Chain A
Amino acid sequence: MDQERSKPGSETNQLFEHLENLEIKLTRTKSWGGLETKQSYGPQDVTSDYATNIGDPGAYPYTRGAYPQMYRSRMWTLRNIVGYGAPEDTREGLEKVLAAGGSGVSIVVDPLTTQSIDPDHPAFAPEVGLEGCSLPTSRDIDRLLHGLDLSKIDTAWHWAAMAYPMVAAVHVKRGQDLSTLQGSNMPDMLQETLCGWGQNLIPAELGHRTTVDEIEFCVKNSPRWALGMPQAYDLRERGLSPAGEIAVGMAIINKTMEDLLARGMAVNHVAASIAWVSTADIDFFEEVAKFRALRRYWARTMKERFGATDPRALRLRIACHTSGKSLVYKQPLNNLTRTAIQGLAALCGGVQSLEACTFDEPVCVPTHEARDLAIRQQQILANEVGAARVADPFGGSYYVEALTDEVEAAAVAMLKKIEDVGLIEAVTSGMIERIMDDYNLQTQRELDAEERIVVGVNKFVPLEEPAPTRFTFDPTNTRMHVRRFAELKQQRDAARWRAGLQDLYCIARDGGNPLQAMIDAFIADASVAEVWGTVRVAHNYSYDPYKALEAPIKFV
């Protein structure tokens, strides 16, 4: 080896070998989601009839956008998610986002709260407030949002069914009417069953029923509250292609709509309250095509399957958060390149709100600097790039029109398979999870074979680099918050609290819609674990999904 090295010119040779390794070669002609593409597209590839299958922006079937003037009439809502520690900590983060120019308040709660587990649960102390804000009671939500008028400020909750009754409880306690409540949450519980929560945490039947209850109640009582349905973001992250997002998402929508119509609801009211929660992954063209195919398929389904007539029900609004799983840990600043392209895809696809992941998403809870850059990135897209100027800038592109048709066709095929089995059965039997596991396995095999290349993962990996900076915060407030929670349980009006849970139990057990009783229980200072645990017991499931705790009262 030493002799080899001392030969004249060998260093240069090594350098050239190195260069060869750096050359960029096309390893893949399929889209990121697995659709084969041709070397080029031409007029013969656009088979859709413009008037019936594409249409102008703001006109049925809304392929080209939900509104005729798109961002000229209303800019997208620039969101930036915040959530860590105690309510006081997250409040501080929220104020920083608004000061930096964010136009929406978007809150992430910690995994315990999302799973309706209280911060005093014996098994999970290390996790309180760690990956989101701990919000076990409506008093905590009031602390987080003090001074914010919930009839004027739109709060977006990255949180399923319990977000609405808790926020509603705060609004009512402040003396305001449910009909004036603004904001949004993501009541899709089947998505949770599918995305790592499993049947123990969210039994599919009970989860789906709760989703239907919440949509029914919200549409009737809080028409200004938007419902993020389906929560297709998590489904994609768990393991679905863009076509798979439309398929599983529409399966959830169809089943939910059927059940709501069976309760006497009108499709025109329900569909108008819904916004699809989507993602943008790294394949720019495929994501643009997906947003277009999704709007078209939604409009067709609402009209032809459910008989919708109101444009507000036919035109789908889309909330997009760029893909977290697409981001890479090594050389994390490369993620700014990725999120810029994903954000541009979302805007070219015509979304109504956009949250860009921060570049440090794969490393930790976002640092303040990373969050600031995520907002600046959207300001660059809005003001410099021209992303907002013209509706559906890719309309008429041979490639994008053909890809829109292909994504839709693949989605319809998968949706049929799911609906042939029936959605609930497809969830409980593990069929959909198997589809997602297979997709992930295929992706990993392609990475291992270097057919699919991700910079910094399986190619162009930096050898040595300093450990990335991670977000840290002082846990003092979190400790105080846990103590305060324990004190509330001692100090609350025990008779009122008990009556609240008992009423909720009876209504849920007798098959009624439990949402008003949930709101009342939260007003009576019941905690998130107590309220959801009561609903579980009423449906013959264990009070604590982790089976470490018993119900705090004996229900009669």
Chain B
Amino acid sequence: MTETSTVRCLLGMLGTDVHSKGIRTLAQILRDAGIEVIYIGEHNSVEGMANAVVDEDPDIVGLSFSSAAYIDYTHQLIAAMQRKGVGDVPVMLGGIIHPDDYETLRGIGVAGIFGPGSLMPDIISFVRSKARPAA
């Protein structure tokens, strides 16, 4: 990894969740930190988001949930990403994530969990750590 490599971070939401305040703020803060953010918006289907991962070739995918359906949706997304050959792209989760679910989420392959009380600098350094070496 070199200092100059830019990280590409794809952010979006799954399902009917309308609580977009957090992820929209995060998108701007990551951009201000020099990270390239592709914000694909709210209300994506699992297939649609997995396709976006294929098309956009990000270094990391970030999801935000205010809905308790996050385990099912994240599981479905990671499975769809694997089917489409982009299962190696790390996935991070933010929002109302309950500590009792951390182990389950890690078990299905979630790389980073930023539940309530997470600090922006921690999210920024985690995203930066996923930069691929410049080709």
A364 contacts which of B16, B98, B120, B121 (Cβ < 8 Å)? B98
0 or 1 for each of B88-127: is its CB under 8 Å from A? (1 = yes): 0000000010111000000000000001110111000000
Contact B98 A470 (CB under 8 A): yes
0 or 1 for each of B32-51: is its CB under 8 Å from A? (1 = yes): 00000000011101100000
Contact B117 A111 (CB under 8 A): no
Give the contact-size bracket for chain A: 35 or more
Stretch at the interface among B4-12, B23-31, B52-60, B79-87: B23-31
The SS class assigned to the B binding surface is: loop
Contact A444 B67 (CB under 8 A): no
Contact A238 B72 (CB under 8 A): no
0 or 1 for each of A94-119: is its CB under 8 Å from B? (1 = yes): 00000000000000000110010100
- Least CB distance from B82 to A in Å reads 19
**What residue in chain B is nearest A365 (Cβ atoms)?**
B68
**A201-B43 contact in complex given A195-B18, A196-B19, A329-B116, C-beta closer than 8 Å:** yes
Contact B29 A444 (CB under 8 A): yes
0 or 1 for each of A170-209: is its CB under 8 Å from B? (1 = yes): 0000000000000000000000100111101100000000
A303 at the A/B interface (Cβ < 8 Å)? no
Stretch at the interface among A21-29, A122-130, A418-426: A122-130
Q: A201 to B13, alpha carbons, bound, how many Å?
A: 15
**What residue in chain A is nearest B17 (Cβ atoms)?**
A111
With most chain A CB atoms within 10 A of its CB, the pick from B17, B21, B68 is: B21
B133 at the A/B interface (Cβ < 8 Å)? no
Q: What are 10 residue pairs bridging A and B, where the CB atoms are less than 8 Å apart in the complex?
A: A111-B17, A111-B67, A123-B15, A198-B42, A328-B117, A329-B96, A330-B116, A363-B98, A440-B24, A546-B43
Q: A329 to B98, alpha carbons, bound, how many Å?
A: 10
0 or 1 for each of A42-55: is its CB under 8 Å from B? (1 = yes): 00000000000000
A546 contacts which of B41, B45, B67 (Cβ < 8 Å)? B45
**A196-B18 contact in complex given A131-B68, A441-B28, C-beta closer than 8 Å:** yes
Chain B contacts for A123, CB-based, 8 A: 15, 45-46
Chain A contacts for B28, CB-based, 8 A: 437, 441
Contact B24 A467 (CB under 8 A): no
A258 at the A/B interface (Cβ < 8 Å)? no
- Least CB distance from A32 to B in Å reads 16
Chain A contacts for B67, CB-based, 8 A: 111, 127, 130-131
What are the 5 A-B residue pairs with the smallest beta carbon separation, nearest first?
A: A329-B116, A196-B18, A126-B72, A467-B99, A126-B69
Chain A contacts for B121, CB-based, 8 A: 448
- Least CB distance from A66 to B in Å reads 31
Contact A196 B25 (CB under 8 A): no
Contact A444 B25 (CB under 8 A): yes
A372 at the A/B interface (Cβ < 8 Å)? no
Contact B96 A127 (CB under 8 A): no
Q: A288 to B4, alpha carbons, bound, how many Å?
A: 51
Chain A contacts for B117, CB-based, 8 A: 328-330, 456-457, 461
**What residue in chain B is nearest A192 (Cβ atoms)?**
B18
Q: Report A's interface with B, CB cutoff 8 A.
A: 111-112, 115, 117, 123-124, 126-127, 130-131, 192, 195-198, 200-201, 237-239, 325, 328-330, 362-365, 436-437, 440-441, 444, 448, 456-458, 461, 467-468, 470, 546, 548
Chain B contacts for A130, CB-based, 8 A: 67-69
Contact B24 A198 (CB under 8 A): no
Q: A130 to B17, alpha carbons, bound, how many Å?
A: 11
B24 contacts which of A112, A237, A437, A458 (Cβ < 8 Å)? A437
Chain A contacts for B20, CB-based, 8 A: 196
Chain B contacts for A239, CB-based, 8 A: 21
Contact A115 B16 (CB under 8 A): yes
Contact A441 B25 (CB under 8 A): yes
Q: A458 to B24, alpha carbons, bound, how many Å?
A: 20
Contact B115 A329 (CB under 8 A): yes
**What residue in chain B is nearest A329 (Cβ atoms)?**
B116
- Least CB distance from B76 to A in Å reads 8
Contact A467 B120 (CB under 8 A): no
Chain B contacts for A238, CB-based, 8 A: 21
Q: A200 to B44, alpha carbons, bound, how many Å?
A: 11
**A126-B15 contact in complex given A329-B115, A456-B117, A546-B45, C-beta closer than 8 Å:** yes
Chain A contacts for B41, CB-based, 8 A: 198
A111 contacts which of B16, B21, B119 (Cβ < 8 Å)? B16
Q: A401 to B46, alpha carbons, bound, how many Å?
A: 52
A198 contacts which of B25, B43, B46, B73 (Cβ < 8 Å)? B43
Chain B contacts for A461, CB-based, 8 A: 117
With most chain A CB atoms within 10 A of its CB, the pick from B73, B99, B116, B121 is: B116
What 14 new A-B contacts, CB under 8 Å, besides A123-B15, A363-B96? A111-B17, A112-B16, A130-B68, A130-B69, A131-B67, A196-B20, A197-B18, A200-B43, A329-B116, A330-B117, A364-B68, A441-B25, A444-B120, A448-B120
Q: A238 to B46, alpha carbons, bound, how many Å?
A: 25
**What residue in chain B is nearest A112 (Cβ atoms)?**
B16
Q: A112 to B15, alpha carbons, bound, how many Å?
A: 9
Q: A458 to B46, alpha carbons, bound, how many Å?
A: 33
